Amino acid sequence: MVAFTARAHTNIALLKYWGKADQKLIIPTTTSISLTLNEFYTETTVEFNDDLANDQITLDHQPLKAKDQKKIINFLDLIRAQANINTYAKVESFNHVPTAAGLASSASAFAALAGASAAAAGLDLTPADLSRLARQGSGSASRSIFGGFVQWDRGTDHQTSVAHPLQEQVDWPIQLLTVIVSDQPKKINSRGGMQNAMQNSPFYQSWVERSNALVKPMQTAINQHDLATLGKIAEQNALEMHAQNMVANPPFFYLTDISWKIINLVQELRENGLKVYATMDAGPNVKIISHPDDTEKIEDALHTILPEITIQVATPGPGLKIWQN
């Protein structure tokens, strides 16, 4: 059969997904909103081939760990069931994302896999169908099907829990500076972390209600190109997500002392008049939502307190692309 390649970009949530109402289908407890990023992406080629005796999966030319293999094979099984085939696949993936450093590589990975494997299996799916499919691989992947600002509606079932673009072409100045505190894989992965918070935080229900209440204000900020309001809401939501982890029993922390130094610096810069806001995911890296004109000032300030720190600039990026090899 024919090989197809897909490219999907990572996304950073401005309103976070942090808990599942349905573990198997990956239906979240909250509606989330993200920005797809231009600089970080995954490219995946899939070919179903009658000559294969099992699925062959590589990432950056290396075989995957057994646990990660299993996730991909489960996903390919969904495709095979939908396409009514039982052929094994060759999957070759290349990650242009620092893997597992809190830059949501699973989002771009499963969005690219969904696009390439569906096309290779001969399925003719709409972007919304691909979003539902990608969601079953990794929740945040549902958003990486689309470019720009994207909303993943929590929904109540497989059909209604789906992402859609809020603003695909972002023609106003906004960027994310990712400060790489660590490029090591995180100790507690997102899946375990969100489950832990959901089961063990006494304030989890409050998180759900407060987060869902921020959807409309966030949409308005995006529509009005209002960087200050968008950033303020995103920072509040990120801190509330991390608060769930900190008050869980037992508590757990993604943020390190260096992360906190950066968050404090962001507050300080804001007091000095810059529109800068922090957001953090399931890892210690801090992403600074900011105006492109302020990059140098922010980088200088960061290097004053942390001379060795690496900073990556990311701008709004496109949705999924699929092509035949």
CB 111 within 8 A of CB 8: yes
CB 45 within 8 A of CB 65: no
Choose, by CB under 6 A, the member of 101, 104, 179, 322 that binds ligand 2P0.
Answer: 104
Q: Given the rule CB under 6 A, which of 111-119, 132-140, 170-178, 257-265 is the region that contacts ligand 2P0?
A: 132-140
Is position 274 an interface residue for ligand 2P0 (rule: CB under 6 A)? no
Q: Given the rule CB under 6 A, which of 11-19, 82-90, 176-184, 200-208 is the region that contacts ligand 2P0?
A: 11-19
Q: Given the rule CB under 6 A, which of 10-18, 60-68, 85-93, 229-237 is the region that contacts ligand 2P0?
A: 10-18
Choose, by CB under 6 A, the member of 5, 32, 45, 201 that binds ligand 2P0.
Answer: 32
Is position 140 an interface residue for ligand 2P0 (rule: CB under 6 A)? yes
Q: How far apart are CA 130 and CA 325, in angstroms?
A: 20
Q: Which is nearer to ligand 2P0, 117 or 140 (CB)?
A: 140
Is position 282 an interface residue for ligand 2P0 (rule: CB under 6 A)? yes
Q: Which of 90, 79, 163, 169 is nearest to 125 (CA)?
A: 79
**Total residues at interface with ligand 2P0 (CB under 6 A):** 15
Is position 245 an interface residue for ligand 2P0 (rule: CB under 6 A)? no
Angle at 75 between CA 325 and CA 26, to 5 degrees: 130
Cβ 30 to ligand 2P0, closest distance in Å?
9
Cβ 124 to ligand 2P0, closest distance in Å?
26
Choose, by CB under 6 A, the member of 19, 115, 139, 284 that binds ligand 2P0.
Answer: 139
Is position 48 an interface residue for ligand 2P0 (rule: CB under 6 A)? no
Q: Which is nearer to ligand 2P0, 141 or 301 (CB)?
A: 141
Is position 286 an interface residue for ligand 2P0 (rule: CB under 6 A)? no
Residues 6+ apart with CB under 8 A from 298: 177, 269, 274, 276, 288, 290
Instruction: Specify which residues 22 forms β-bridges with.
Output: 27
Choose, by CB under 6 A, the member of 47, 92, 235, 281 that binds ligand 2P0.
Answer: 281
Q: How far apart are CA 86 and CA 50, in angstroms?
A: 9
Choose, by CB under 6 A, the member of 106, 136, 151, 196 that binds ligand 2P0.
Answer: 106
Q: Which is nearer to ligand 2P0, 195 or 315 (CB)?
A: 195
Q: Given the rule CB under 6 A, which of 134-142, 201-209, 262-270, 290-298 is the region that contacts ligand 2P0?
A: 134-142
Query: What is the footprint of ligand 2P0 within residues 191-210 (CB under 6 A)?
Result: 191
Q: How far apart are CA 255 and CA 179, in angstroms?
A: 12
Q: How far apart are CA 34 and CA 48, in angstroms?
A: 32
Q: Given the rule CB under 6 A, which of 14-22, 40-48, 57-65, 126-134 is the region that contacts ligand 2P0?
A: 14-22
Residues of this chain that interact with ligand 2P0 (CB under 6 A) are 13, 16-18, 26, 32, 104, 106, 138-140, 190-191, 281-282
